Amino acid sequence: MDKGKVAPSMMCADFTRLRETLDIFEKNKVEYLHIDVMDGHFVPNFTLSDCIMRQVRSLTDIPFDYHFMVENPQDKLDWFDIRSGDMVSVHFESTPHIQRCISKIREKGALAGVALNPATPLCSIEYLLPDIDFVLIMTVNPGFAGQKIVPQTLQKIKDARSFLNDRGYGDVQIETDGSVSFEIGKIMRENGADIFVAGTSSIFSKNGTLNDNLIKLRECIK
Ligand code: DX5
Ligand code: ZN
């Protein structure tokens, strides 16, 4: 079994110390930068636009993990610098044309993912399985950093792993996003999560340096 992958949540990063932060990420070989894109409609918040992220992209080779929390993402994917090797997730709840949207991501050469809000059942993706490379299980309600976990989502991760394996999709990875602390990250890993969005609950926590927190999180999700 591969080791757990770390995707720092860039909406939690200190952009006044971006170069230093990216150096620490590169030193710790984080697998992706998690880019939360929010439109103020699908979720009650605005975050990371394309122009800012193009500048971040010019500073590092770390692949992006775009998490679109926007309405009708199929109409907006072309606005972004999506490259082969990136991960791109869109919310099942955000468009009536989810299959078309997922196909568009793959056409761009990126890994395609469907994101599920805490209450959205796993059966929603029954007829999407051939089209996805990962499922993003939201363990908080999307929109803000620093929220409390929705407790039943820990079981949802375990159920998702069984759901995928039982249907012959054991290679579809599970990403978990929201309140991934050191302790909860360990449980998420035991329950089958593969990729961990690291925010204020772990690596950007004030209790420790970014570098030490990254090392500590790695230990919890190995
Ligand atoms: C929530 C975002 C997450 C969040 C994770 O909508 O998608 O990336 O920032 O950070 P914490 O650990 O603060 O929940
Ligand atoms: Zn996210």
Helix-then-strand count for the chain, H and E: 6, 8
For 89, the 3-state DSSP assignment is: strand
Q: Which pLDDT score is estimated for 165? A: 98
Cα(146) to centroid of ligand 1, in Å?
7
Residues with a beta carbon under 5 angstroms from ion ligand 2: 36, 67, 177
For residue 1, pLDDT over 90 is answered with no
What pLDDT, on the 0 to 100 scale, is given for residue 197? 98
200 lines ligand 1 (CB under 6 A): yes
Q: Which atom of ligand 1 is nearest to the CA of 12?
A: 9
Residue ranges per domain, the chain? Answer: 5-221
Residue 88: nearest ligand to its CA? 2
| Bridge partners for 6 per DSSP | 196
Q: For the residues 46-62, what does the mean pLDDT come to?
A: 93
Known catalytic residue: 177? yes
What angle do helix axes 210-221 and 182-190 make, rounded to 10 degrees? 30
What average pLDDT is seen over the chain? 97
Give the H or E element holding residue 216. Answer: helix 210-221
Question: For residue 85, what are its two tokens?
Answer: 């090797």
Decide: residue 1, CB within 10 A, 0-12 exposed, 13-18 middle, 19+ buried: exposed
SS3 label, residue 149 = coil
State the Cα–Cα distance between residues 193 and 5, nearest whole angstrom: 9
Topology of the domain covering 5-221: TIM Barrel (3.20.20)
Atom 4 of ligand 1 has which residue's CA nearest to it? 145
> Phi and psi for 135 in degrees, rounded to 5?
-120, 130
65/53 Cα distance (integer angstroms): 11
| Helix or strand holding residue 52 (H, E) | helix 50-57
81 is a catalytic site residue? no
Span 168-192, pLDDT tens digits:
999 999 999 999 999 999 999 999 9
Tokens of 81: 């610098």
Q: The whole model's pTM is what?
A: 0.96
What separation in Å is there between the alpha carbon of 9 and the centre of ligand 1?
A: 6
